[in-house]
Amino acid sequence: MYKSERQQFYAQIDQFWADLYDEEYALYDIYEVTEEEVEKIRLATERTGKIYFKTAQLLRNVSNETLLEMGYPEETLRFLRLKTLETESVIARFDFIPHNGSYKCIEMNADTPTFIKELFFVNERICHAFAMENPNAKAEQVLKDLVQESITHSKFSQKTHIVFTAHEQNIEDYYTTLYLMQFVPGAKFTPLHLLHIQRGVGLFDEDGKKIDVLYRQTFPIENLIQDEDEAQNKIGLWVLELVEQNLLTIINPPSAFLLQNKAVQAVIWGLHEEGNAFFTAEEHEWIAEYLLPTYLEEHPFIKKGLRYVKKPVFGREGDTIEIYEADGHLLKEDVQKSYQQYTKVYQQYIEQPKTTFHSEKGKQIGEMLVGSFLISGKPGAIGIRIGGMITNNLSYYLPIGIKKDNV
């Protein structure tokens, strides 16, 4: 019964990936939240966003040596200091774990977060099917307005040629990009492999038209810098040169990549532990409430007898993450090891709350991770991924709703 209802429901939603990797991804179930919890998540998102955005100002002024110690690729150093938009990131997502009546941020996905269409679009439709209120009801308009605003605030005239790009063969990336593109009248889609570049001149679409604004929502900078053409020209680095030369605007902007590095949270925590005046007394309270102890070494946790998580400063979907016991013995690891080359950070481990949910495999129990979007510094849509101890690319999307009598 569940399987047929689920398939019938998701068949009505165009350009959506209800299944991923030949496995069920979007559940036909709903997790009940209260308006009070939603407001708590939004407040955590807004405050944590302010802390991160403020830290970006500091990071643009530290030495190259410090940035290298944090694990930024050397090729990106000049690019890291660019401030091309008023906001540090147009579309960012925090991952929170509910903890002791509040929320703890385990990381900020500032540069290329996914989970967008699910929360801003699909959640509305599943709430309707389950006769519940959508906690994200106003979020899509905020997303639309601020995506448009990010274009108008770029350095180009009204005759801007705006291109959205992604790997066309990756259905999640492709449909996420098309969803965002609908908010920008006159924009076009060009798959990544059809873009071409002239060094120091410009980036061009498949028709040879020069691009002013490139929206690369799902294409990370750490992947871009590795791109070479058949002649082994470092064309990815040429793209960053165009940005530096004001010949191209990219969104998310360079400052989003600056904040994508998970060592940023170690910087924030270090400043907090020493009571640094860079943060106000109120901001120190926010850090204590919403952030977790994070370091560039594991010794503080072994010394205190605390479990900890080891993760690469650049990485996604739980890939290369390891969880350790307080004595330093490995407890759990993700089978994927794609990000081994990056510097590692160490963060205090806290348990994710468990809940029951329905899937095609029947009734299950899973661990919850709350995703909450920050759109140009404003709280956006929220939602839940559910799976094992490490939330990875096989975790489910669990829609959320508010009972109508709770509103």
Q: Which pLDDT value is given to residue 406?
A: 55
Q: What angle do CA 89, 111, 143 make, to 5 degrees?
A: 50
Do the beta carbons of residue 282 and residue 302 sit within 8 Å? no
Give first-to-last CA distance, the chain, whole Å: 30
Distance CA 57, CA 88 (A): 9
Pick the closest to residue 188 from 163, 161, 152 (CA basis): 163
Contacts 24+ apart (CB under 8 A), 228-233: 233/199
Residues 6+ apart with CB under 8 A from 101: none
Q: Which pLDDT value is given to residue 157?
A: 53
Do the beta carbons of residue 390 and residue 332 sit within 8 Å? yes
The tokens describing 37, both together, are: 């919890």
Per-residue pLDDT of the chain (407 residues; tens, 9 = 90+): 899 999 999 999 999 999 998 999 999 999 999 999 999 999 999 999 999 999 999 999 999 999 999 999 999 998 999 999 999 999 999 999 999 999 999 999 999 999 999 999 999 999 999 999 999 999 999 999 999 999 987 776 567 999 999 999 999 999 999 999 999 999 999 999 999 999 999 999 999 999 999 999 999 999 999 999 899 999 999 999 999 999 999 999 999 999 999 999 999 999 999 999 999 999 999 999 999 999 999 999 999 999 999 999 998 788 899 999 999 999 999 888 888 999 999 999 999 999 999 999 999 999 999 999 999 999 999 999 999 887 877 899 999 999 987 55
Burial class (CB in 10 A: 0-12, 13-18, 19+), 55: buried
Q: Which pLDDT value is given to residue 158?
A: 63
Do the beta carbons of residue 39 and residue 47 sit within 8 Å? no
Q: How far out from the chain centre does Cα 212 lie?
A: 24
Q: Which pLDDT value is given to residue 113?
A: 96
Contacts 24+ apart (CB under 8 A), 172-177: 172/17, 172/20, 172/114, 172/218, 173/114, 173/217, 173/218, 173/219, 175/15, 175/16, 175/17, 175/117, 176/114, 176/116, 176/117, 176/217, 176/218, 177/215, 177/217, 177/218
Pick the closest to residue 343 from 66, 63, 57, 95 (CA basis): 66
Residues 6+ apart with CB under 8 A from 11: none
pTM of the model: 0.96
Burial class (CB in 10 A: 0-12, 13-18, 19+), 388: middle
From its phi and psi, is residue 248 left (phi > 0), alpha (psi between -120 and 50) or beta?
beta
